[in-house]
Copies of this chain bind each other. A is one copy, B any other.
Amino acid sequence: MKIVFIQTGGTIDKDYPHKTKGWAFEFGEPATHRILEKLNPSFEYEVLTSCQKDSLDVTAKDRAKLADLIQNHKGNKFIITHGTDTMMETASFLREHIKNKLIIITGSMLPERFSNSEAPINLGCAIATANLREKGVFIAMHGIVKPDTEIRRNLETGKYY
């Protein structure tokens, strides 16, 4: 099995490159690298970057670029790390444009840099889905893995269910 991980930005990848005169909160290297280093996985993988944005800033053009990247890649199983606010929009777009590939979208509520982040658990959920499914578009958040057409979000708490 080979998994292609694609960074698009979102909370999971937020870092804090602070020097002087105020603070910056910027996107860094994909958190996926740090998580996979801990996992020491038995599968093959590569980690790509499509964009580095808050998900509210992801545009139709960004989604088209992401779809092209997936479509033109020889791999069949993709895990997209993504901001949590527009996961379903991106999932819906990919479902319409990509056939016969497996796409799992995940992210996290706290940056992976935080010691109390759930990012490693979420990425684990996405990885297991790559083991157990062959095609379709899934979202993995809050311990729930469902096709994007079935998952819902509580807009009060931010929790997917």
A interface with B by C-beta (< 8 Å): 1, 11, 14, 16, 18-23, 25, 35, 38-43, 54, 56, 84-85, 109-111, 113-118, 120-129, 131-133, 140, 142-146, 153, 155-161
CA distance A25 to B22 in the complex (A): 13
**How many angstroms from the CA of A114 to the CA of B123 in the assembled complex?**
19
- Tell whether, in the assembled complex, residue A143 and residue B39 are in contact, meaning their CB atoms are under 8 Å apart: yes
Determine whether the beta carbon of B113 is less than 8 Å from that of A115: yes
Given the contacts A109-B40, A143-B42, A143-B127, A19 and B157 also touching, CB distance less than 8 Å: yes
Pairwise interchain contact B38-A155, C-beta atoms closer than 8 A = no
Question: Do A116 and B113 form a contact, CB below 8 Å, given A142-B39, A142-B42?
Answer: yes
Q: Which residue of B lies closest to A121 (CB)?
A: B124
Whose C-beta in chain B lies nearest to the C-beta of A108?
B18
Main secondary structure of the interface of A (DSSP, over half): loop
CB pair A131–B146 under 8 Å, yes or no, is yes
Subset of 25 A-B contacts with CB under 8 Å = A11-B18, A16-B114, A18-B84, A18-B109, A19-B109, A20-B84, A21-B56, A21-B85, A35-B121, A39-B118, A39-B142, A39-B143, A40-B109, A42-B142, A42-B159, A42-B161, A118-B120, A121-B127, A122-B124, A123-B124, A125-B127, A126-B128, A128-B128, A131-B144, A131-B146
Shortest Cβ distance from A141 into B: residue: B42
